């Protein structure tokens, strides 16, 4: 197998020199295992946390180890009665071309139901994040206003479209006019606001005449600062991610200092509900509902998705840098092998 290993802990933006490309021998299959060939590797913002030794909800990737990640793979050999060569599966084999894993760590995909890549995006982890975070924590009601940033990505685009299906108004925030146009034309948001525009604050105010009832937090930073001023009493804030800070170093943190007591005062006086979550929390309770609803919505065309596919495993570090800088446009995938 060819693999990309983490060789040093990045400071700020990850560099090519934080990784190495190498090969490794795979072990012989034992009972219950399958040999997999990677077709798609998912690149996701949470991977930045795993590159770092700072305390988080999950252990960091060890130095010298293969970078972790969700994958869609083809079974090449099987010593499990439940998998046969040619099966397509969802797995978690990381940044490599091949892997040997227990068959029970894979989920079979039916390419007749949906394109297999969607298992990493709209019908996968990011989709469930949007679904459960919005419906179970955000709880939008018909006529209310839902705002979300990183709105052209897999989480944000699903948040906006599910909000619309529930009868809410959806306000999307994204970087640049091309993404903003797609929010309206492809994903059906009611308004799209460019956070890079000098008129961002005024544009947000104009687009939210009735305030904001649900702010699905993906980014933090100046976007959140502007949104806070628009929140209605009893607004809900599912805290899903803070991508603007993932490459932050001690020196750059100086520009993002807040007065915690002032924030708590806002929460108190406006009766806000702020609730963080990690998507795994919802797998036992909501995965089945999510797969049923979302597969139906996607099949009907009431939820659309966009993918940004980069060819070649060796381009993963560069593509990952782009993800945290907003250079991706849609769910970022690496095509590692032929589909």
| CB closer to ligand NDP out of 164 and 321 | 321
Interface pick for ligand NDP out of 119, 183, 310, 323 (rule CB under 6 A): 323
Radius of gyration of the chain (CA): 20
SS3 content of the chain, % helix, strand, coil (to 5): 35, 25, 40
Q: Which of 127, 138, 140, 154 binds ligand NDP (CB under 6 A)?
A: 154
Can you tell me which of 175, 187, 237, 306 binds ligand NDP, judged by CB under 6 A? 175
Q: Check residue 221 for interaction with ligand NDP (CB under 6 A).
A: yes
What is d(CA 62, CA 147) in angstroms, rounded to the nearest whole number? 37
Question: What is d(CA 262, CA 6) in angstroms, rounded to the nearest whole number?
Answer: 40
Q: Residue 153, interface with ligand NDP (CB under 6 A)?
A: yes
For ligand NDP, the binding residue among 240, 313, 316, 319 (CB under 6 A) is 240
- Answer for which of 38, 152, 161, 208 binds ligand NDP (CB under 6 A) is 152
Q: Does 244 bind ligand NDP (CB under 6 A)?
A: yes
- Residue 58 CB, shortest distance to ligand NDP, in Å, is 10
The smaller minimum CB distance to ligand NDP, of residues 91 and 155, is found at 155
Pairing outcome for strands 191-194 and 145-149 = unpaired
Place of tokens 């803070």: 242
- With contact defined as beta carbons under 8 Å apart, do 336 and 36 qualify? no
Chain positions 251 to 290 lying near ligand NDP, rule: CB under 6 A, are 277-279
- In angstroms, the Cα distances linking 179 to 150, 152, 217 are 10, 6, 18
Residue from the set 75, 155, 316, 336 that interacts with ligand NDP by CB under 6 A: 155
Site string for ligand NDP, 128-147 (x = CB under 6 A): -x------------------
| CA atoms of 30 and 33, how far apart (whole Å) | 6
Longest CA span, the chain: 63
Residue 18's region, left for phi above 0, alpha for psi from -120 to 50, else beta, is alpha
Q: Which stretches of the chain bind ligand NDP, using CB under 6 A?
A: 44-46, 126, 129, 149-150, 152-156, 174-175, 179, 195, 218-219, 221, 223, 240-241, 243-244, 277-279, 323-324, 326, 328, 332
């Amino acid at each position: 197998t060819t693999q990309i290993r983490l060789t040093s802990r990045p400071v700020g933006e990850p560099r090519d020199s934080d990784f190495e490309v190498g090969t490794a021998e795979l072990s012989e299959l034992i009972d219950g295992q399958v040999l997999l060939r990677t077709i798609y590797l998912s690149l996701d913002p949470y991977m930045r946390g795993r590159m770092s030794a700072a305390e988080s909800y999950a252990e960091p990737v060890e130095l010298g180890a293969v970078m972790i990640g969700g994958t869609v793979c083809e079974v090449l050999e099987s010593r499990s009665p439940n998998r046969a060569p040619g099966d397509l599966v969802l797995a978690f084999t990381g940044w490599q071309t091949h892997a040997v894993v227990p068959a029970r760590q894979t989920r079979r995909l039916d390419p007749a139901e949906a394109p297999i890549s969607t298992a990493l995006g709209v019908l996968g982890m990011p989709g469930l994040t949007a679904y459960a975070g919005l419906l179970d924590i955000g709880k939008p009601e018909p006529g209310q206003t839902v705002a979300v940033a990183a709105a052209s990505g897999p989480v944000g685009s699903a948040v906006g479209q599910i909000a619309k299906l529930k009868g809410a108004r959806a306000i999307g925030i994204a970087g640049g006019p091309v993404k903003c146009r797609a929010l309206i034309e492809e994903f059906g948001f009611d308004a799209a606001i460019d956070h890079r525009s000098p008129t961002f604050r005024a544009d947000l105010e104009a687009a939210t005449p009735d305030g904001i009832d649900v702010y699905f937090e993906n980014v933090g930073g100046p976007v959140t600062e502007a949104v806070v001023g628009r929140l209605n009493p009893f607004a809900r804030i599912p805290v899903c991610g803070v991508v603007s800070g993932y490459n932050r170093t001690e020196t750059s943190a100086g520009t993002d200092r807040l007065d915690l007591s002032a924030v708590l005062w806002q929460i108190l006086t406006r009766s806000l509900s702020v609730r963080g979550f990690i998507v795994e929390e919802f797998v036992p309770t909501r995965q089945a509902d999510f797969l049923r609803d979302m597969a139906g919505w996607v099949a009907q065309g009431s939820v659309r998705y966009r993918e940004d596919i980069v060819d070649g495993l060796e381009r993963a570090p560069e593509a990952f840098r782009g993800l945290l800088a907003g250079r991706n446009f849609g769910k970022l995938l690496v095509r590692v092998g032929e589909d």
